[in-house]
Amino acid sequence: MNFKYGILKNILLLVLLLLIQKTFIKILSLSSLNISPDFVMIMLVYIGVKEGKISGSIYGFLAGLLADFLSGTFIGLSAISYTIAAFLAGFFKSENEKFLTGYFFLISVFACSFAGNFIYFWIYFQGAPINLPEVMIKYVLTSSAYTTLISLVYVVFPRKKKIERSFLGET
């Protein structure tokens, strides 16, 4: 029951984040290059770190495929990048879930989104008059950094809850 509930929760959250990503992302877009944070990536990293490589890659594949269907670009491109990024997130899985807390989570988000963005933009710009270092600097690094910055919200939020609990006398 919990297992099914967990799957449903993950799917709903991913669909919701994808909806937000596709609808409101313009607000957070930076520069003429439309550098934007990837909410779905943050969620996938969380799933990957929490549940492991298999879950991560399956959720990554499904979320990527849905994102591809909704985008005007190649179908399969986001699927590949999300699958690999979420699979890599599985390497950060540990018993004490260290990489789901604090700055460790930021590191894992940056590493995974860097890998995902690299694959995505590298394939995306194939045949375009832009070289790889330029793609790395203009798109991969900036998008990954921005996504990591946004994932700070997740890092701050549990701490707040912890503070609230301590006020209530809980441990």
Q: Catalog residues that contact other proteins under the rule CB under 8 A.
A: 19, 22-24, 26-27, 52-54, 57-58, 60-61, 64-66, 68-70, 74-77, 79-80, 83-84, 87, 90, 123
Residue among 25 and 136 whose Cβ is closer to other proteins: 25
CB nearer to other proteins: give 8 or 75.
75
53/138 with CB nearer other proteins: 53
Closest separation between CB of residue 137 and other proteins, Å?
A: 25
Residue 170 CB, nearest distance to other proteins (Å)? 36
Smallest distance from other proteins to CB 67, Å: 10
Of 29 and 101, the one with the shorter C-beta distance to other proteins is 29
What minimum distance in Å lies between the beta carbon of 16 and other proteins?
Answer: 10
Q: What is the 3-state secondary structure (H, E, C) of the chain?
A: CHHHHHHHHHHHHHHHHHHHHHHHHHHHCECCCCECCCHHHHHHHHHHHHHCHHHHHHHHHHHHHHHHHHCCCCCCHHHHHHHHHHHHHHHHCCCCCHHHCHHHHHHHHHHHHHHHHHHHHHHHCCCCCCCHHHHHHHHHHHHHHHHHHHCHHHHHHHHHHHHHHHHCCCC
